[in-house]
Amino acid sequence: MKLKDRITDDMKAAMRAKDGPRLSTIRMLLAACKQREVDERIELDDAAVVGIVDKLIKQRKDSIAAFEQAGRSELAAKEAAEVEVLRAYLPERLSAEQIEAQVAGLVAGLGASGPADMGKVMAAAKAQFAGKADMALVSAAVKAALAQGSQ
């Protein structure tokens, strides 16, 4: 079953259960998918849907930080609940150790050495880790690997 179909089925289940917060989050996700399909005149595959979910989670995390800084804990809690609903549609994530090991292999394979090669390594890492890992962790692992390589 395609991920988009699973999301649609979950929306129907949330409607039947009268689960308002979950329903609104799933509708927001489907709207974002539909918007991209209309804008680009394509049908989204599972990888593209995972990319949209990742983007929405990142937006929610940024909002949580802003709301907590402003002392709006009720809005931060709402955003955190949305993140939990969205996480259900992400594939299993790689652990920090797995990310570090793969990044080390990637840096060695590209022959990168030093912070000047950060862009080159991140471009390759983005393709390799898309949907499989939190890109903030990947970026930190790349910085650490390049710092070790320059010493």
Q: Are residues 69 and 109 in the same domain?
A: no
> CATH number for the domain including 63?
1.10.1510.10
Number of continuous H segments (helices) and E segments (strands) in the chain? 7, 0
Query: What total number of domains does the chain contain?
Result: 2
Q: Read off the pLDDT band of 150 (50, 70, 90).
A: low
Q: Are residues 11 and 59 in the same domain?
A: yes
Say if CB 25 and CB 7 are below 8 A apart.
no
Predicted local confidence at residue 85, as pLDDT: 97
Q: Which of 53, 87, 121 is the last residue of a domain?
A: 87
Q: Are residues 56 and 30 in the same domain?
A: yes
The pTM of this model reads: 0.79
> CATH number for the domain including 130?
1.10.10.410
Predicted local confidence at residue 113, as pLDDT: 79
Instruction: Find the range with the poorest average confidence among 28-42, 59-73, 137-151.
Output: 137-151
Say if CB 82 and CB 57 are below 8 A apart.
no
Q: Are residues 81 and 100 in the same domain?
A: no
User: Phi then psi for 72, rounded to 5 degrees?
Assistant: -105, 70
As to burial, measured by CB atoms within 10 angstroms (0-12 exposed, 13-18 middle, 19+ buried), residue 58 is: middle
Q: pLDDT (tens digit, 9 = 90+) per residue, 83-107?
A: 999 999 998 888 889 999 999 889 8
Range of the domain at 37: 3-87
Q: Are residues 66 and 106 in the same domain?
A: no
Say if CB 32 and CB 60 are below 8 A apart.
no
Q: Are residues 40 and 9 in the same domain?
A: yes
